Amino acid sequence: MSNHPIYLDYHATTPVDERVLAAMLPYFTEKFGNPASINHVYGWEAEAAVKQTREILAAAINATPEEVVFTSGATEANNLAIKGVAEAYFQKGQHIITVATEHKAVLDPCEYLKTLGFEITILSVQKDGLIDLNQLEKACRSDTILVSVMAANNEIGVLQSLAEIGEICRDRNIIFHTDAAQAIGKIPLDVQAMKVDLMSLTAHKVYGPKGIGALYVRRRNPRVQLAPQQHGGGHERGMRSGTLYTPQIVGFGKAVEIALAEQATETERLTQLRQSLWLQLSQLEGIHLNGHPTQRLAGSLNISVEGVDGAALSLGLQPVMAVSSGSACSSAVTAPSHVLTALGHSEQLAYASVRVGIGRFNTAEEIDIVGKHAIATIQSLRKQKTLV
């Protein structure tokens, strides 16, 4: 048994599944060729492996293999989507719409574009974390070139209504991008039914390796143009130059393949574990569930706790469980989560928050241990506060 705390931060990253690692290993040693080397068997082997993963990812989202562009992860995919559209459609318009609860990999590129003269509309969210579709409709203009709304929130697990958003964008000839880093393999995704034009994906949230992601780029109805952000060789239909990392790509494909095969049963299991933990924690007063109660990822539970200090809460939980706090550190400056403050929480309540990400290797026994420890920690901290 490991002396490490119980891992409950599966939204931050996941361990590589042993089945994924086994699929990857030959491509480090035996099948090490460059997929762009088309004159010998080493290149052919690598090219075939890359092609297979394109097919797996395309099938997972109802796209075609040619529409899958490999990147180093979802951050690069988001940057390529947002900056690529901005540069390619600059003459059509300079207005972009996104949401206050987006990942920084979306918000920061938008902030950068503001310095170049683009106008960015950042939609607020309702108390449950969902956007108001009427507000989105009102925000759309004749010069709006892109709407970027994430599929599943990385902090509160809320699932946005992609099909309805896609319909709004398609009716107005606006390109629709979604960051689906947290969603791939966990919920059904269909770029045709949802009318998604650009979709960012990553492997390490779904038991695949870090350092590999992809961007779906629609080729028809409508054909989306992107200005490349990385030049040098014209790889990936000219959108993302650089030698493809075959072992990582193979791992990505295997991870998604496994996730899709197990999606239904795993969703049910994780939902039961999440509900079990929430049932324990909700016995205490002053515990707030962040995000929509049902329209959320199966393994996602984010709570805010009244009457405790955020740092003390994090410290008290650490010996037993590995979770993320409600704050984010950037450049050595601690700030409350922008997602939780967007829900309307005070700074104190945002600080005293815990993000629990339940995953493939968690058990019911672990959840029971975690629940009991969390309750004891909160009760102890509240008692200490009343004694001061």
Q: In what order do the strands lie in the sheet with 68-71?
A: 68-71, 213-217, 198-202, 175-179, 144-148, 95-99, 119-123
Burial of 307 (0-12, 13-18, 19+ CB in 10 A): middle
**Catalytic: 140?**
no
| Residue of 110, 140, 169, 329 marked catalytic | 329
* The residue to which tokens 């967007």 are assigned: 342
Q: Residues 182, 272, 352, 345: is their CA dihedral positive or negative? A: positive
Cβ-Cβ contacts under 8 Å for 267 (sequence gap 6 or more): 186, 187, 298
> How many CA atoms within 13 Å lie on the side-chain side of 49?
29
3-state class (DSSP) for residue 118: coil
Measured at the alpha carbon of residue 302, what is the angle toward residues 183 and 101, in degrees to the nearest 5?
60
How far is 186 from 180, CA to CA, in rounded Å?
Answer: 10
Catalytic residue ranges: 329
